Chains A and B, each alone.
Chain A
Amino acid sequence: MKVPFLKPGSQRRRPVAVATFLVVQTLAAVFFVGDALGELLSDADGTHSSFEMLVAVALITGMIFGGMELRRTLERMRTQEAALAVASGALADVIRAQFANWGLTGAEQDVAFLGLKGLDVAEIAEIRGSAQGTVRAQLTKVYAKAGVSNRAQFAALFVEDLLGASLVEPVAKAG
């Protein structure tokens, strides 16, 4: 599934810009402090050193804020990427976690996943090389464990995730 209005590329440029700015700030701070220290050591008259202290403190403070801003930008970007991942395929992970939550066996998980993808019983049976009766029984078990009564309800549990509702806890079934 494509989500055209959220291009990862364009999102990634912002932290690069913030990081570049932070690097420039660090260079300024290191060179300025180095220069001021050098002067302080060579001619120990304290006339302009208090002003230089002020500038040094300002530069270092700027660095710290730059670092915090970069950290925040990265965290925001990651949250967005996680949401985007759900929309674009990593939904499989969310589904898998939920399946495990319900205590589906390996075979049941595979059948349930194919069912979610829209395959009917005959197709699933063919893919899995098993009898249709087996598949039907497995699906019935899956629905029971998920606390729903048919495939539409089953699929609806995961559509919720796509719409941004809570990710994992549609049905808290004791198991």
Chain B
Amino acid sequence: MADPWTSERQAGIAPPDLWDPLVRISHWGIAFIVVMNALFTKGGSPLHLWLGWIGMALLLLRLVWGVLGPVEARFSAFPPSPRAALSHLRGLVSGRAPQYRSHNPAGALMVYAFWVTLAVVIGTGLLRTGGQTPMQAARDAAAVASGDWSVLVTETDGGGESRFGTLPGEVHTVAANLLLILAALHVAGVAVESRAMRRNLVAPMLTGSKRRRG
């Protein structure tokens, strides 16, 4: 018989059974976009720009939600603290890591690293394209295709390199690869944490079907 008494939720120190839909949608949307753009779409192609811009919108929405969202989605629930992260990792090794209301401190660092790197990738991508939306890029491409080369002239950067030279493009590619490395660490971290805490961390990011019984 399971101990009928235990429920950390009552004390407010258990992670959510199910993340709110906005966290879930933005997570899987961003994960899909990062994998697609870093590995499968051609850099600078219309699809690449569309996905990149959608990723930017999802990131913006998630950041706003970090202030306005429910408690466990707010930045204040998972402050970046390398010291807490280290002590959490030590706790994991010795099997005595506590529960947290939101991301654990090590996971929280990972989350901020993701967001910063993603912002760098998107920012350099925008620099690289002169801030053109995919629609504008398509319009210009159509104009060029129909023989109107003037759009190329009005572009100060001449369609090739931006005003900052090749730097944004290089930073963009490096940061994109960094995202992939982070993602690998992230998935490994989720697996380790799930094992150590004997709790499925992925289910609450999906449908939360593994509901804990009271």
Whether chain B is bound by chain A comes out as yes
| Residues of A that sit less than 8 Å from B by CB | 8, 12, 15-16, 18-20, 22-23, 26-27, 29-31, 34-35, 37-39, 41-42, 67-68, 70-71, 74-75, 78, 85, 88-90, 92-93, 96-97, 113
Nearest CB on A from B69, distance (A)? 7
Q: How many A-B residue pairs have CB under 8 A?
A: 88
Q: Tell which of B35-43, B129-137, B163-171, B194-202 binds the partner.
A: B129-137
A22 touches B22 (CB 8 A): yes
Contact A38-B131, Cβ < 8 Å, known A19-B22, A31-B57, A90-B7? yes
Nearest CB on B from A162, distance (A)? 14
> B189 within 8 Å of A by Cβ?
no
Task: Kindly report which residue of chain A lies nearest to residue B23, judged by CB atoms.
Answer: A19
A93 touches B60 (CB 8 A): no
Question: Which residues of chain A are near B4, meaning CB under 8 Å?
Answer: 89, 92, 113
B135 touches A41 (CB 8 A): no
Q: What's the dominant secondary structure at chain A's contact region? A: helix
Question: Which residues of chain A are near B65, meaning CB under 8 Å?
Answer: 67
A67 touches B68 (CB 8 A): yes
Number of interface residues of B (CB under 8 A): 34
**Contact code string B49-90 (vs A, CB < 8 Å = 1, else 0):** 000011011101100110011100000000000000000000
B68 touches A74 (CB 8 A): no
B25 touches A20 (CB 8 A): yes
A23 touches B58 (CB 8 A): yes
Q: Please report the C-alpha to C-alpha distance between residue A89 and residue B211 in the assembled complex, in whole angstroms.
A: 13
A19 touches B131 (CB 8 A): no
Q: Could you pull out 19 A-B pairs where Cβ atoms are within 8 angstroms?
A: A15-B20, A16-B21, A18-B21, A19-B22, A22-B61, A23-B58, A26-B61, A29-B57, A30-B57, A34-B53, A37-B131, A38-B131, A38-B136, A85-B9, A89-B4, A90-B7, A93-B5, A93-B9, A113-B5
